[in-house]
Structure 1
């Protein structure tokens, strides 16, 4: 420390940087008592400013005398924390001024390091409005900010005894800057441990304990039991316990094997690549617009959150449309969902009695709800209870919008439970990405209309699909004519109406799903008929699919640069980009399945994709939470430099972490739920133990096989087979 102070004093020997000149350079003035804050906040701030005064006076004396006494050295050392605290502030103006920086970062780690030396400190971002004593901002008692415009945020390191409003008052009084501080948001804030916290924490401890016990029992039985003993039927209690065995569940997830003939092998690869695309899109939105992903409440406050010039020119770069239009990955998952629902249903060759039985469709819905809801709702509880503990500079620069998201979840979680969270006030939606689970479930509700029509006649089914697609297309044209919506989420127009009327509504998003039902039916019924296709025709097919996909991704290039499109043109793009994207991806799936893919099929159908495909559902659920976690472990907010930088430094690591987290979440909750649900249905209907007969037994067997991705072949061994048939409808994914 003494050596550092010596170097500091050497650097201050210029006559232009002495005592008062130093304070002028730091833009700090302190000539009267601080008012409008609590006593502890005022006292801590006065202590800090007084320490700065001591540093100024003593260092000036040392410079003038060319030597520091022991007393002066002690004073410098005791008060040096004040300079460190000031050094952790954001520097204004910063370098790169002509790129129009919106955030002036300080040093989060430095602010944390000095905490406790004299008082606890907190790293915060203050909201700056141009003009001294500006009237363009209003701060409520709760610290909420409602400015007309927000341009800048600057880091400050302040005593923890000062709350958000008080920090604004203090900075406005002591800082001589041409801005008004309209509010502040801090990287650390108190979180109350309520009954929900203790209750959910106890639940997690119990579940982890059960998993550890089940794993131990499973390992012991596997080690000491003979082959004959392993085949003996286990009692119900033991079977239930072993459902939670991490040993067995991990083996099911990680198993890699050659799939049976007829299975659509390329789906796992498509799921994983689409998942990576989803994470990339969400990561970019987090960098550029932190806070917007939580609630529309912050749209006016969070116009941009980085260096303005690179962000405003982001849409002008051609290849950036791979992320700008990453929203089509949503349509990929809708397509996959429809394909596998129809494929698994018709692969069983259901009888007419099964098709017409109410039991079939009752189980069709009940089974879907039971197998999707537990891992989803348990994670929602995890998010509500623990997400507020993710605190850091990114949360602060995003105005701590996650707090509002959690508050919304506490009020509206029941809508997620009923899968209706895509309706109503979107600003109150719980865990925004889950709108997709709602839409996919709603489409699943009407899927039997098409399935039944297809069973009776392909023509009837095709007419039903065509009617649904035409109805959706007409609706989009009407909405664009009435509300003048943007063509995409980066165009001019009401983004709130875009999300509320188009993006999250099942009658708008149904087109890829309906196409998927038709494609799934075709693969199930005609897929075994290997049709030879000349390699030239195959290449032409792939080139056409590539051209269609490219048009869907890059057609908005001129529009996003500022070209004016009519409402008809925007509606046409929105309608047919999704429709044609589904056609292009359908070609990829059908061509690979029919053997027309060549090396592409070898890559996409490789067994190594299987574990990643199985984990996609849980990975999707958890990834949004993990974006917050990963970005807040840095000591400053992320900054956008290039798409490649975002992808390498953020999207790929977050995807890896998401799949690791998903592995444990699936072992703990998803697979045990599937096993228990299987036992329940078999116990009720007697399937698999000989008690059921006739139509009821046939219906139960059909339903258990029709959509279940983890099919139990022998319950006494808890042996789950055909794990590769995990459904995209179960991997409900959203951009």
Structure 2
């Protein structure tokens, strides 16, 4: 059976089992504590209460007497803290046990409940469609019609008409871009996935990172919606579940890959044609292509979630009926469209995971700071990367020390009583900040630089074992700030990357020390009593900030440069052994170092600052070493497993899966017709998390083919029509019997591993054609392809648009 068929059938079968898994379980035993909330109500049973609810007086005092808890700052002021889960409680009216008021409460689970707030009656189950609803439905139905009609044409008509002149017209090409059939075939096409020059392990990394993301989000929602949350808190104190609580490293992996692929692709284009790669049009398209490629599926998801899913699906689920009181999407959806939701109204974000795209774009904006120094030489690029990395780390450390922030974004861990901001502010300042996230981005850039610089590398067989819509796009927009320095030489590019990395790290350290932020974004862990901001402010300032996240982004960029420019590399066996040992130790330290804090023990602000600032750098370095070893063919069984063609379709679906997985998790949680009762981690994993993963990937097949791939093809068609058809240049004037001279070692074109323009004779072309598999191999030489036979053009503007990178199917 062809690969596409068994891939599709496997996902279809697993999706059916996932959607129907709840029907196999009537009751789950093993509750060790009493049921603290009642939530097993259907939409129909909710309707029975509506008439009585409006007649019931306020029950705020009764709720306070029942819960009698405190806020994070030790007061009992009936104020809803910003970082808590919104959960359901059914409360009996005194004197009449049959009359209930459905009260939605905001609280924190930390050893016990805190105070209750936001009590209100339910009177909004029935939602009426508005203008936005009809516009979204019209848009979706139009794209669906185009996709189905183009699929019918591609399957039945195009094979016999592909040589007709009308098939080359702009209208037909634009229409065929929406073909669901052709796009799905492309998703499952694994031909050539392991050819030389491809970074094989990336698809495997994407899948497991996406699984890790869904594990973190679904388990968090399961914890918040379970009837026995105190039981679920116990599992985060085990060593085995630290992988679940450290799921934020999956996002760092995506940032690292984004930086890696950015530098790996850009450096190759630069050394093929320096003038073309640094032309004004090339830099314009550097940003335009990124935004156009990522935005359509993201924008459609936001409007679908705001005007349809939120109104007619979530609000008919009893467990999510409270969201009507918040309703951030109706007011804030436009902020997501401009990729600034990690800064503007960061404490009322519309879609949970969209901050990533904003942070990535913000880092991309500044990427030339790292790329341009490399044009002056590797040393300049490395130094600039180290400086930026150091600044990012310093900002991280300062923020944590100043605000007493936690070491990471885990809301269920204790916080310092000195933390002086909200948790949302912490998330904005640290977790979502591009100036913090750029650390691992820079490491990815450096790794890509290595892979491009070193095409071959010898590593002796002496090592032991080896081991992801707003932030990414923001970093991407500024990526030329990293890329452009590389145009002056690799040294200049590396220097600028180091500078940005240093600045990001310094900002991270300063933010944590100043605000007493936690070491990472885990809301259930304790916080410092000196933390002087809300948790939302921490999220904005640290977790979502591109200036923080850029650390691993820069590391990815530098790695991409290395992979692209280094043709050969020899590593002594003892260096190889130390490298693998350090990779294991660093990755394990990043994941398991927070166990004591997550278990409820307070943290020292200095340790929190160090972890917040350095963990992403360490994670990026571990990923870089793993990728470098596998890229050069010395990853052994690890490389064989991670480069397996099975992961290719799953890797292609990662972006769409990331977009829609929150809808899937919400649907699984809200569709429960009985209490969500936690018994153990494996029960939650196989009965909830895995079904969410499988279902998300199944629906991402259609989301990707309809909105991601189709609009990407449409962009190529429209730009090609706008720029005009390329023309073949005149043949070289050399005589047929003239033997071409090879470049000498001292020639400028041989510097930094550049591929010189080779004007060879017909004999050499014929020889290469027979040796490498014919004209098709020549047409795809160096990872580029066109829509037809080989096309050449001396016009830089045309060439910039017509060349499409095979590896650029990656979303991160």
Same fold (TM over 0.5): yes
SS class of match (1:635) = coil
* TM-superposed deviation, 1:637: 4.5
Cα 1:620–1:334 change in 2 (3 A) is same
> Are residues 1:212 and 2:151 paired?
no
Q: Equivalent of 1:470, from 380, 390, 402?
A: 390
Q: How does 1:389-404 map to 2 (within 5 A)?
A: 389=311, 391=313, 395-398=317-320, 400-401=322-323, 403=324
Tell which deviates more after alignment, 341-350 or 486-495. Answer: 486-495
State the distance in 1 between where 2:52 and 2:578 align: 65
How far, CA to CA, are the matches of 2:351 and 2:783 in structure 1?
A: 26
Structure 2: gaps spanning 5 or more residues: 1-27, 69-77, 94-98, 104-114, 417-421, 464-572, 731-778, 792-801
- Give the alignment partner of residue 266 of structure 1, picking from 191, 201, 205: 201
Question: For residues 550 and 579 of structure 1, what CA distance do their matches in structure 2 show?
Answer: 14
Q: Specify which of 322, 330, 333 is matched with residue 410 of structure 1.
A: 330
Question: 1:347-391, CA deviations, whole angstroms, 9 ceiling, x for partnerless residues?
Answer: 232433224421111110011111111111011111112223565
Deviations along 1:585-621, whole A, 9 cap, x unmatched? 1111111111121111111001111111111111101
The change in CA–CA distance for 1:709 and 1:416 in structure 2 (over 3 A counts) is farther
Residues 195-232 of structure 1 show CA distances to partners (whole Å, capped at 9, x for unaligned) of 1111211121111111111111222223434x7x2798
Report the Cα distance in structure 2 between the residues aligned to 1:150 and 1:714, rounded to whole angstroms.
54
Q: Which residue of 2 aligns with 1:72?
A: none
Q: 1:199 aligns with which of 135, 138, 141?
A: 135
- 1:465-614 aligned within 5 A: 465-488=385-408, 489=410, 490-493=413-416, 494-526=422-454, 528-536=455-463, 537=573, 538=576, 541-614=579-652
1:372 aligns with 2:294: yes
- In structure 2, the partner of 1:99 is 33
Q: Which residue in the other structure is 1:381 paired with? A: 303
User: Mapping of 1:108-147 within 5 angstroms?
Assistant: 108=42, 111=45, 134=65
Superposition deviation, residue 464 in structure 1 = 1.4
Instruction: Please state whether the residue corresponding to 1:388 is helix, strand or coil.
Output: helix
3-state DSSP class of the match of 1:456? coil
Match of 1:255 among 155, 177, 189: 189
User: Residue 294 of structure 1 aligns with which residue?
Assistant: none
Match of 1:685 in 2: 723
Distance of aligned partners of 1:657 and 1:120 in 2 relative to their CA distance in 1, 3 Å threshold = farther
- The answer as to 2:355 corresponding to 1:317 is no
Structure 1 regions of 5+ residues with no counterpart?
Answer: 1-93, 138-144, 159-163, 169-178, 291-304, 693-704
Offset of residue 415 of structure 1 = 2.0
Q: Call closer, same or farther: CA 1:643–1:344 in 2, change over 3 Å.
A: same
Cα distance in 1 for partners of 2:168, 2:52 equals 59
| SS of residue paired to 2:383 | helix
Structure 1 residues 688 and 150: CA distance shift in structure 2, 3 A = closer
Taking structure 1 as reference, are residues 392 and 479 closer, same or farther at Cα in structure 2, changes over 3 Å only?
A: closer
| Corresponding residue SS for 2:458 | coil
User: 3-state DSSP class of the match of 1:586?
Assistant: helix
Distance in 2 (alpha carbons) for counterparts of 1:625 and 1:332: 22
Change (3 A) 1:444 1:102: same
Contact 2:42 2:318 in 1 (8 A): no
Q: How far off its partner does 1:392 sit?
A: 7.1
Change (3 A) 1:396 1:594: same
1:412 deviation in Å?
2.1
What is the aligned partner in structure 2 of residue 283 from structure 1? 218
Q: CA deviation at 1:481?
A: 2.0
> 1:695-714 residue pairs with structure 2 within 5 A?
712-714=786-788
Separation in 1 of the partners of 2:790 and 2:127? 47
**Aligned equivalent of 1:440, options 360, 374, 380:** 360
SS at match of 1:319: coil
- 1:323 aligns to what SS in structure 2? helix
Q: 1:318 to 1:455 in 2, by over 3 A?
A: same
Q: Distance in 2 between matches of 1:683 and 1:338?
A: 30
Task: Check the 8 A contact 1:106/1:156 in 2, yes or no.
Answer: no
Report the alpha carbon displacement of residue 262 of structure 1 after superposing the two structures with TM: 1.0
Work out whether 1:651 is the aligned partner of 2:689.
yes
Q: Does 1:431 align with 2:351?
A: yes
CA–CA separation in structure 1 for the residues paired with 2:595 and 2:587:
14
Q: Are residues 1:242 and 2:176 paired? A: yes
Q: Is 2:285 the partner of 1:363?
A: yes
Secondary structure of the residue that 1:313 maps to in structure 2? Answer: helix
| Structure 2 CA distance for aligned equivalents of residues 645 and 589 of structure 1 | 34
Check whether the contact 1:439–1:506 (CA below 8 A) recurs between aligned residues. Answer: yes
1:473 touches 1:575 (CA, 8 Å); kept in 2? Answer: yes
Kept after mapping to 2: 8 A contact 1:338/1:513: yes
Partners in 1 of 2:66 and 2:355 — Cα distance? 38
Paired with 2:258 and 2:85, the residues of 1 have a C-alpha distance of: 42
Query: CA separation in 2, counterparts of 1:153 and 1:127?
Result: 17
Deviation per residue, 1:532-568 (Å, 9 max, x gap):
4233445653333122111100011122223333211
The whole-number CA distance in structure 2 between the counterparts of 1:614 and 1:248 is 15
Greater displacement, 373-382 / 254-263: 254-263
* 1:101 Cα deviation after fit: 3.1
Give the distance between the partners of 1:157 and 1:223, measured in 2 at CA: 68
Trace 1:130-209 onto structure 2 (pairs within 5 A). 134=65, 153-155=88-90, 183=119, 189-209=125-145
Distance 1:514 1:152 in 2: 40
Superposition TM-score, scaled by structure 1 size: 0.71
2:228 to 307, 313, 330: 307
Distance change (3 Å), C-alpha of 1:210 and 1:613:
same
1:54-77 per-residue CA deviation (whole Å, 9 max, x = no partner) reads xxxxxxxxxxxxxxxxxxxxxxxx
Deviation at 1:233, TM superposition (A): 5.6
Q: Which residue of 2 aligns with 1:669?
A: 707
So what's the TM-score if we normalise by structure 2?
0.64
Call closer, same or farther: CA 1:99–1:723 in 2, change over 3 Å: farther
- Name which of structure 1's ranges 559-568 and 612-621 shifts more when overlaid on structure 2: 559-568
> For each residue in 1:419-450, what CA deviation from the matched residue of structure 2 results, as whole angstroms up to 9, or x when unmatched?
11111222222212110000101111111221
**Which residue does 2:807 correspond to in 1?**
725
1:656-678 per-residue CA deviation (whole Å, 9 max, x = no partner) reads 11111111111111111111111
Q: By percentage of residues, which structure has more helix?
A: 1
Considering only aligned residues, what root-mean-square deviation do their CA atoms show, in Å?
A: 4.1
In structure 2, the CA distance between the partners of 1:446 and 1:452, relative to structure 1 (3 Å rule), is: same
Q: Counterparts of 1:709 and 1:594 in 2: how far apart (Å)? A: 17
Distance 1:232 1:598, change over 3 A: farther
Q: 1:253 to 1:182 in 2, by over 3 A?
A: closer
Distance 1:276-1:468 versus aligned 2 partners, 3 A rule: same
Instruction: Name 1:343's counterpart in structure 2.
Output: 264
Partners of 2:275 and 2:64 in 1: CA distance: 77
The corresponding residue for 2:658 is 620
